[in-house]
Structure 1
Amino acid sequence: MATAAPFLMFEGRAEEALTFYCKTIPGSRIVEVDRYGAGQPGPEGSIKLARAEIAGLEVLASDSYVKHAFTFTPSVSLFVTCTSEDEQSQIVEALGEGGGVLMPLDNYGFSRRFAWLNDRFGVSWQINLP
């Protein structure tokens, strides 16, 4: 049976990003990390492929050794449903530090508390409290 998971491609910051996400989002952990070794195409020690669980969602990530003319876009985002205002505020504050706010934390009618932001790595997050 086929499976699907979001795949985040970084240019040298995959480990930093995944570690930050797992520290910031409750119930998250890095599951597996495969690194480039000596003589392989990527810089030795960089992330060839990592698997993490972000609030129960499997997320894959790598460090691309090829420079691309594109990066992340808000048209694809990770959606996190929080269980309390405190949890949501902490997540929004941490993810927003060094990033950019697309929709500040507020009541937008479809949710009593919602925020949409890009983190310091360029990944887009929607943080909801239903």
Structure 2
Amino acid sequence: MYMNAYLTFDGRCEEAFRLYAQVLGGELPLMMRFSDGPGCEEIPEAERQRIMHARLQVGDQVLMGSDTCQGMPYEGVKGCSISVNVDSKADARRVFDGLAEGGKVVMPLEKTFWAAAFGALEDRFGVPWMINCEHDR
């Protein structure tokens, strides 16, 4: 068994996942639009290019997401954070800064009693992230 986070956006899934792939060093093997699926005639024309399903692959880790469509509620991401653990403080800084650009820093990236570097932020899409580096490398 394995579990993956699945993020929902209000029309910005493609933009978010392209940023995540760039910052996290991953690949986007799947970016399916609503227009790619059966029954898209029922979806308003303006929403058919939204993302039905996106898959980001970073090593053996997966992050998935989609956009909402008319009639689907969108409330943003609440009550959780995507936690990223990296192997060096340099990677922590690179990932933190890349995700924080245009967003809001909740806790600056700094040494803590449990980690060589830890920081929390909300990216420009409203997704909360925690970046953690346990070792001082």
* Conserved 8 A contact 2:68-2:74: no
Deviations 1:44-76 (A, max 9, x none): 221111111245321221110146362112x31
Alignment correspondent of 1:86: 90
The structure 1 residue matched to 2:34, chosen from 33, 36, 43, is 36
Deviations 1:77-126 (A, max 9, x none): 11111122222111111111111111111122011210011100111111
Counterpart of 2:3 in structure 1: which amino acid?
Answer: A
1:110-129 pair list within 5 angstroms:
110-129=114-133
1:1-130 pair list within 5 angstroms:
4-26=3-25, 28-37=26-35, 39-41=41-43, 43-54=47-58, 56-65=60-69, 66=71, 68=73, 70-73=75-78, 75-130=79-134
User: Structure 2 CA distance, aligned partners of 1:127 and 1:55?
Assistant: 17
- SS of 2:54's partner is strand
TM-score, normalised to structure 2, is 0.82
User: Structure 2 CA distance, aligned partners of 1:117 and 1:56?
Assistant: 24
Question: What is the CA RMSD across the aligned residues, in angstroms?
Answer: 1.9
Sequence identity, in percent?
Answer: 28
Q: Flag structure 2 segments of 5+ consecutive residues without an equivalent.
A: none
User: Structure 2 CA distance, aligned partners of 1:3 and 1:112?
Assistant: 28
User: Structure 2 CA distance, aligned partners of 1:92 and 1:50?
Assistant: 22
* Conserved 8 A contact 1:21-1:54: no
Counterpart of 1:48 in structure 2: which amino acid?
Answer: M
* Conserved 8 A contact 2:10-2:74: no
Q: Which has the larger radius of gyration?
A: 2
* Conserved 8 A contact 1:11-1:67: no
User: Structure 1 CA distance, aligned partners of 2:101 and 2:122?
Assistant: 9
How many residues in Structure 1 have an aligned counterpart in Structure 2? Answer: 127
Instruction: Give the 3 Å change call, closer, same or farther, for CA 106–120 of structure 1 in structure 2.
Output: same
* Conserved 8 A contact 2:21-2:27: yes
* Conserved 8 A contact 1:50-1:61: yes
